[in-house]
Amino acid sequence: MQAEVVSPVSDQTMGAVPVATVADTEAALASAARGLREWRSTSGFARADALHKIADEMTRRAEEAKRMISLETGKPVAQAEREWALAIDQFRWFAEEARRIYGRIIESRVPGGRFEVFREPVGIVGAFTAWNFPAALVARKVAPALAAGCSVVLRPSSQTPGVAMVMVDCMGVLPKGAVNLVVGPTATTYAPIMADKAVRKVSLTGSTRVGQQMIRDAADTVKKVSMELGGNAPLIVYDDADLELALNVSVPTKFGNAGQVCVTPDRFFIHDSLHDQFVDGFVKRAKALKLGDGLDPSTQMGPLINAARFREIEAIVADAVKAGATLVAGGSRAAGLNSGHFFEPTVLSDVTDDMKVFDQENFGPIAAITRFTEEEEAVSRANASDMGLSAYAFTRSPGRARRTVSALKAGMVGINSFALAASEAPFGGTNHSGMGREGGTEGISDYLDTKLAQVVF
């Protein structure tokens, strides 16, 4: 059985990939068990060398990879290139972390004794990734798992399997079974992985709804979980902000990957004194973006991933306008792009906090803008969400910046910057946006168990 992979640019089938049966997934799990026995006994230094070799091979195949990313997601090739570079960087970073999995010695109360604390690989890892960053998300899970000495069963999105295939193909230096790839529906891939008690850890990048179900399913076999779930990021532009900086960086950030980014700003809180200038400048820049095929080097924004996402974005805009929001720009299919799923960069003003476009993550090219007057008001309204992945603010005041960082309820906060994703920094959210961290020295911890020994002589 095979599954078709459809281009979001043309809405035409690009090819097909084998779909795993239950037996295939069970074979992958058995392979992971065999791979674990060899890989976990490999020294941290040898694991580091292997991860660097994977990064070398990924570098060699960068042109192929960025083209595959653009073909499957529709994102501009320049964005695809940056994503592949970020994926390589994850392997470089965690190669070095593999050398630094430290334990510790604790003085014991028992005469002649001591406590020894060890860090050991948790075991087989089930890694589930979304389609919007098909390289970076795989690397964020596979690289730390391998660095820790775990084996992996990877299940990428069926909409973007080719990118995962290229990456796994770069891992030939690993022992057989260290990484295993399955593609297919929930019943034949997800269900066997979650049911297998040998799988000791699962990591998901996906929606909050899917994460909630995975947490429930993981409870049956008491698996460790890491969840990078949805976002609904606020952006506060204070009255003392550098307006040009805020506009110049927020527009390409908001419409990067057609807004299909969990950390992108969705809710724009703009101070009364800057509101009209901000809206005018934002609209001008949004309208200047060139939409088109991601493989065209001049393209700045590509399509939505599929027809269902296009219809959902249409519905969100219509609901906001019906509720009283003003459609300042966009709001429909991009002119001249009649195939694929191209939606105009869209700007809504006069948005209120109870509108669906504000209350829920839109995951598309919609900037929803509202006004505020006082600092405390902006922070309070920004925090009025179940989500807590990322949040942003623009200000020239160091004191206000520190107050805002402290007050905002989010796992990550950017002040005058949106640059939160880096291999050396912990990435993740709070509340309904998930648990656990990917990246940084924290990123390997979720793939390790802690063992205590009392040694007496």
Look up residue 436 and give its amino acid. G
CB 204 within 8 A of CB 141: no
- Whether 228 is a known active-site residue: answer yes
- Residue 434: left if φ>0, alpha if ψ -120 to 50, beta else—which one? left
Catalytic residue among 72, 83, 170, 262: 262
User: CA 191 to CA 342: how far, in whole Å?
Assistant: 34
Residue with tokens 């069926």: 158
| Cβ contacts of 46 within 8 Å, gap of 6 or more | none
Residue with tokens 């065209």: 296
Which among 80, 86, 92, 91 is positioned nearest to 160, based on CA atoms?
80
User: CA 49 to CA 305: how far, in whole Å?
Assistant: 37
CB under 8 A, 24+ apart: contacts of 309-317: 309/260, 309/341, 309/363, 309/364, 310/341, 310/343, 312/364, 313/343, 313/346, 313/362, 313/364, 313/365, 313/366, 314/343, 316/356, 316/357, 316/362, 316/364, 316/366, 317/346, 317/348, 317/357, 317/366
Catalytic residue among 228, 344, 361, 438: 228
Going from the C-alpha of 16 to that of each of 19, 184, 185, 308, 457, the distances in angstroms are 9, 12, 14, 20, 63
Active site positions, annotated: 228, 262
